[in-house]
Amino acid sequence: MFAQHGVTVEARRDHLVDGTGRRFSLWNLASVCAMLDEQQWPDTITHHVGVLLSPAPSLSDLDDEQLAAALVLRLLPRDGLAPDAHPGAEQIAPGLVVVPAVQTEHEILTPSERDLALRGDLALLRARAQRNLEALAGSAEVHHQEVVVDRPEHAVHVMVGESPFVASLSLALETVLGRFGHADSGYGVLVATPYRHQLGYRVVDGPDSIGAVGHLADLAAHGFSAAPGPLSPHVHWVHEGQWHPVAPDALPEPLVRAIAP
């Protein structure tokens, strides 16, 4: 495919390198192909190569209206960001931060706070990014499945999709829950964000919710270690806007009280 564009590449373990030293990652392509039928792979690969070789967009390519429409809040690992690029990034849980991203036709940009500030008030831009994420939560193409590992009352819900914002939809939980006929009963939601294309959740609705923690923990650990774009190997209890790490043997006291029979 690269040869069709006049580019010669050398294959490495998880990426390609051309004669100038440019590195082309294969992680995103692998993640997308894993969710498609094999007959769809050739067209997907052709499109991906075209995107990789297209000139990289920048904020200056977007007018104010285009920028506002392209902003989306994104969940990212703290260690994946340059330390001086997002000094005000909200850390919602250990190792996880939320930043405004810009979704262009072929690429997702994560501009620095300084670059975004040149385009407008950061608080207003972030608010627009949140609204756009809420809209995406109600419309993104995802595969949603209720997963029962042992007992039906311990079931969890798993969403997977091509969008790299699927895990970020955990920042718009109310919309996600409503889309699939669920609602926070006042006790919060257990959430797993293993990698950017997957989101697992279970509404806390009583003592049986405890049985779901282990299943979400397995989901998080496996996806984090095996899939492209890892985010977090942990499960979090999202309650009243706060994220609390949980594990089958380490439940926050407020959660224990909430589910006590």
Q: What is the pLDDT of residue 61?
A: 81
pTM: 0.80
Work out the pLDDT band at 22, boundaries 50, 70, 90.
Answer: low
Q: What is the pLDDT of residue 174?
A: 96
The order of strands in the sheet holding 143-147 is: 143-147, 156-160, 198-203, 189-192, 235-239, 242-246
Q: Measured in whole angstroms, how far is the alpha carbon of residue 253 from the centre of its chain?
A: 28
**148-178 pLDDT per residue, tens:** 888 888 899 999 998 999 999 999 999 999 9
Using the predicted structure, report yes or no on whether residue 41 has a pLDDT greater than 60: yes
Contact (Cβ atoms closer than 8 angstroms) between residue 100 and residue 72: yes
- Which comes out higher in pLDDT, residue 27 or 193? 193
Work out the pLDDT band at 59, boundaries 50, 70, 90.
Answer: confident
Instruction: Compute the distance between CA of residue 111 and CA of residue 58 in angstroms, rounded to an integer.
Output: 9
Q: What is the pLDDT of residue 240?
A: 92
